[in-house]
């Protein structure tokens, strides 16, 4: 029976893994194990003796990282180094999850693994540093993904659905104003988790991979899809990144594709449909 050590247990991706992992699973929560604590990480990993370590913990607050890059670095880079150190002397693969925000957005077609990473913001810089730590491990695998959402945790799809439901409930005519000049690959965490497992089953070689839902859209297009799937009569109005004025710069274009022979995720439209159905409690059997 396989033994899985999963970091970031309270997060979206780790929760998606927890739903489908076969075998014995150690779900590591921040309050019980802070990955910045070298000794504690070493003890926990060596005691459990995982066959595979899925490292989904991260400092994911993009604007927060801009305000405190040191803290983001300690979690995203040093935390990853601690996990790798705890695996020395074993042959356990570590899968580190990274982001489309390692790119500067200058391309107009999907970024592939051989494209040069040039992060625009602190979050991207610290995640890129974490990639280097993971790839320093002989069994290190880096999976870059993008714009993650799921029925758990905080994410854009849930925020838009809640805001649109609120407009309808209160009869507010106020439209939702959503950024339309950033394009990416919204990725359903459940789809990513299942494709990562499928790839690991096929003995994924230790290197860098892009795994995101197929296709791309802007945040505004994603919001319109959510509102329409939920059957809500709420207007979604496009605005610019400059109008919203967030602290961290974001790439204008960061869709991902892969040049490696790996299993592919379904389209972002399928992912959003599944997630909205789950959030609305739609029973697949009865549709
Ligand atoms: N979210 C996205 O849009 C996105 C896009 C591209 C890539 N990614 C990457 O995909 C991975 C999973 O993302 P996600 O959306 O599932 O993240 P998430 O929901 O924000 O969860 C991250 C988890 O990391 C844990 N964590 C934070 N600091 C920690 C520490 N010092 N020690 C131990 N655990 C700590 C948090 O624990 P607490 O809940 O206890 O604080 C949280 O459960 C991350 O590597 C992220 O960088 C995410």
Query: 97-151: per-residue pLDDT in tens?
Result: 999 999 999 999 999 999 999 999 999 999 999 999 999 999 999 999 999 999 9
> pLDDT at position 215, please?
97
Could you tell me if residue 263 is inside a domain? Answer: yes
- Contact predicate 194/145, CB 8 Å: no
- Contact predicate 134/200, CB 8 Å: no
Ligand 1 centroid to 7 CA: how many Å? 9
CB of 36 sitting under 6 A from ligand 1 = yes
Q: Which residue has the tokens 């880096």?
A: 142
CB of 75 sitting under 6 A from ligand 1 = yes
Active-site amino acid positions? 123
Please list the residues that pair with 58 across neighbouring strands: none
CB of 103 sitting under 6 A from ligand 1 = no
Helix, strand or coil for residue 104? Answer: coil
- Contact predicate 241/157, CB 8 Å: no
Could you tell me if residue 259 is inside a domain? Answer: yes
CATH number, domain of 60, equals 3.40.50.720
| pLDDT-based confidence at residue 232 (cuts at 50, 70, 90) | very high
Helix, strand or coil for residue 160? Answer: helix
Ligand 1 centroid to 244 CA: how many Å? 24
Burial class (CB in 10 A: 0-12, 13-18, 19+), 162: exposed
Please list the residues that pair with 238 across neighbouring strands: 178
Could you tell me if residue 221 is inside a domain? Answer: no
- Contact predicate 189/16, CB 8 Å: yes
Note down the domain range covering 60. Answer: 3-150+182-216+249-276
Could you tell me if residue 162 is inside a domain? Answer: no
Query: Residue 284: pLDDT above 80?
Result: no
Overall number of domains in the chain = 1
For residue 229 the two structure tokens come to 């799937």
> pLDDT at position 282, please?
79
Could you tell me if residue 253 is inside a domain? Answer: yes
**pLDDT, the chain, mean:** 96
* Distance in angstroms (rounded) separating the CA atoms of residues 175 and 134: 43
> pLDDT at position 202, please?
92
CB of 62 sitting under 6 A from ligand 1 = no
> pLDDT at position 286, please?
53
Could you tell me if residue 169 is inside a domain? Answer: no
How much of the chain is helix, strand and coil, in % rounded to 5? 40, 15, 40
Could you tell me if residue 78 is inside a domain? Answer: yes
Give the angle 106-269-278 at the CA atoms, nearest 5°.
125
Query: Residue 285: pLDDT above 80?
Result: no
Residue 126's contacts (CB-CB under 8 Å, 6 or more residues apart) are 59, 65, 69, 72, 73, 75, 76, 77
Please list the residues that pair with 129 across neighbouring strands: none
Could you tell me if residue 229 is inside a domain? Answer: no
């Amino acid at each position: 029976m396989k033994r899985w050590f999963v970091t970031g247990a309270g997060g979206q991706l780790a929760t998606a893994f927890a739903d489908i992992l076969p075998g014995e699973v150690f779900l590591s929560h921040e309050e019980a194990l802070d990955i910045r604590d070298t000794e504690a990480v070493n003890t926990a990993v060596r005691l459990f003796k995982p066959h595979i370590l899925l490292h989904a913990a991260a400092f994911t607050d993009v604007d927060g990282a801009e305000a405190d890059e040191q803290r983001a670095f300690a979690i995203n880079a040093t935390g990853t180094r601690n996990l790798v150190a705890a695996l020395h002397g074993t042959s356990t693969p570590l899968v580190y999850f990274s982001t489309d925000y390692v790119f500067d957005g200058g391309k107009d077609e999907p970024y592939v693994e051989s494209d040069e990473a040039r992060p625009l913001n602190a979050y991207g810089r610290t995640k890129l540093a974490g990639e280097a730590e993971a790839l320093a491990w002989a069994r290190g695998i880096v999976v870059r993904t993008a714009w993650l959402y799921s029925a758990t945790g905080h994410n854009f799809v849930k925020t838009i659905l809640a805001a649109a439901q609120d407009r309808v409930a209160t009869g507010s005519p106020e439209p939702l104003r959503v950024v339309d000049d950033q394009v990416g690959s919204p990725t359903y965490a459940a789809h990513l988790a299942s494709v990562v497992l499928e790839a690991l089953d096929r003995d994924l070689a230790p290197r860098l991979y892009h795994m995101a839902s197929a296709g791309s859209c802007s945040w505004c297009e994603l919001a319109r899809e959510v509102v329409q799937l939920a059957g809500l009569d709420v207007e979604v109005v496009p605005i610019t990144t400059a109008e919203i004025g967030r602290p961290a710069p974001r790439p204008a274009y960061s869709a991902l594709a892969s040049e490696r022979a790996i299993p592919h995720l379904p389209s972002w439209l399928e992912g959003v449909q599944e997630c909205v159905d789950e959030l609305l409690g739609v029973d697949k059997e009865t549709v």
